[in-house]
Amino acid sequence: MNQIVTIAKKEFKDAIRNKVFLTFLIFLLGLTAISIYVGSVNYQAKVSLFEKTYAQLIVNGQPSDTLVKPEFFPLQLLRATIEYLEIIGAILAISLGYLSIAKEKGNGTLPLIFTRPISRKKYYIGKMLGNIALIVSISVILFLFTFLLIRFVGGVNLNSLEITKILLTTGATILYLFIFFSLSALFTIIVKHPSNALIFSFVIWLFFVLIVPQIGDTMDTDNQVPGGFFNAIHVNKEQSNIILKDFSTYEKLRNGTEEISITKHYERLVFAFLGIKDMYNNKFLGFIFKDKLQDLDLIVIFLLVFGITPVYAFNRSKNLWQQNE
């Protein structure tokens, strides 16, 4: 146990000293600030548009009761932050997984380390725990920073339910980032040249984080026309659900495409926590968990598969002894 803790501590310290890690952390913090600011500017623009339209209707003597004033939900300001975590957070996790294995492979230090009385499994678990501690620290720093921005710059007091929702989002983010860490570590373990492992990880990242959700989104019939296809032909939500029943195979295929992306499950879960999807706004956690259980289950399955596989691969891989290219 002592050996695992020692390796974990060393891993943590090494990562903090690494320029790649620091660059990404600063980048993410900057993006969080920018996205919250842009979110608030967007909200103010909506309110201003509402006020102008309202005033115009009053001047024209037209009824204004159909206009709905945009409501302010502070957690919705986190939308772009979450999207950046999906994209850049995943790259950060990939960099941790890659660096964690590649530096040992590149320096050729592994044969030396294993002359000491430590098993491969313990060594990898130590590295993994060090990186988990790092991922937890990053997520906590990021969401604490978000909380402080909303509280002191935005001047919004979050209630206990909202704070709990931010904590749950932090937890889900840790799981999501850990999956990408493990994926990248796995590639670096099994692929002969570490740089190729990094490129493979980027390709997988690109495919599952950006391309697959994008395909699902663009295949949505309602997304074919700006403002919504059904809106353009004056069909409401209930009616569109009835009409789409005849296209269930297409809808299943579209949804199935999205479902293979871990990012989509993370997004669905976290958007529900934060009320970014309107139907989850002001809802209790029990309702959200019940409704998003499938997404949570799939995140845990991904986590188990990608969490355990590198431990096994590290124990067996012959490519670990590969020296610098």
What are the residues binding other proteins (CB under 8 A)?
A: 19-20, 23-24, 27, 31, 34-35, 38, 41-42, 44-45, 48-49, 79-80, 83-84, 86-88, 91, 95, 98-99, 102-103, 105-107, 194-196, 198-200, 202-203, 206-207, 210-211, 213-215, 217-219, 221, 223-226, 229-230, 232-235, 239-240, 242-244, 246-247, 250, 324-325
Which CB sits closer to other proteins, 247 or 284?
247
Q: How far is the CB of 307 from other proteins (least distance, A)?
A: 23
Residue placing its CB nearer to other proteins in the complex, 64 or 107: 107
Task: Decide: helix, strand or coil at residue 73.
Answer: coil
Q: Count the Cβ atoms, other than its own, within 10 Å of residue 295.
A: 21
What's phi and psi for 119, nearest 5 deg?
-80, 160
Tell me whether residue 17 or residue 234 sits nearer to other proteins (CB atom): 234
Instruction: Give the residue ranges of DSSP H helices in the chain.
Output: 2-17, 19-60, 79-84, 90-107, 110-113, 120-148, 160-190, 194-205, 212-218, 229-232, 237-244, 248-259, 262-273, 285-291, 293-316
Cβ 5 to other proteins, closest distance in Å?
Answer: 25
| Least Å from the CB of residue 172 to other proteins | 17
CB of 219 to other proteins, least distance (A): 5
Tokens 């409501």 found at: 71
Distance of closest approach, residue 308 Cβ to other proteins, in angstroms: 25
In the complex with other proteins, which residue's Cβ is closer, 41 or 148?
A: 41
Q: Output the smallest distance, CB 159 to other proteins, in A.
A: 25
Taking the complex as a whole, the smallest distance from the CB of residue 210 to other proteins amounts, in Å, to: 5
Q: Between residues 3 and 255, which has the closer beta carbon with respect to other proteins?
A: 255
Q: Which is nearer to other proteins, 148 or 206 (CB)?
A: 206
Phi-psi sector, 282: left (phi>0), alpha (psi -120 to 50), beta = left
Which token pair is 325?
């290219």
- Angle in degrees, 0-180, between the axes of helices 293-316 and 120-148, rounded to the nearest 10: 140
End-to-end CA distance of the chain: 34
Residue number with CB closer to other proteins (111 or 119): 111
Nearer to other proteins, 4 or 272 (CB): 272
What's the CA angle centered on 183, arms 182 and 184, to 5 degrees? 90
- Minimum distance of other proteins from residue 63's CB (angstroms): 22
Residue 261 DSSP label: -
Burial of 277 (0-12, 13-18, 19+ CB in 10 A): middle
**Residues composing the chain:** 325
Closest approach, Cβ 202 to other proteins, in A, equals 6
Nearer to other proteins, 5 or 225 (CB): 225
CB atoms within 10 A of CB 166: 20
In Å, how far are 77, 252, 288, 301, 321 from 258, measured between CA atoms?
24, 10, 20, 16, 38
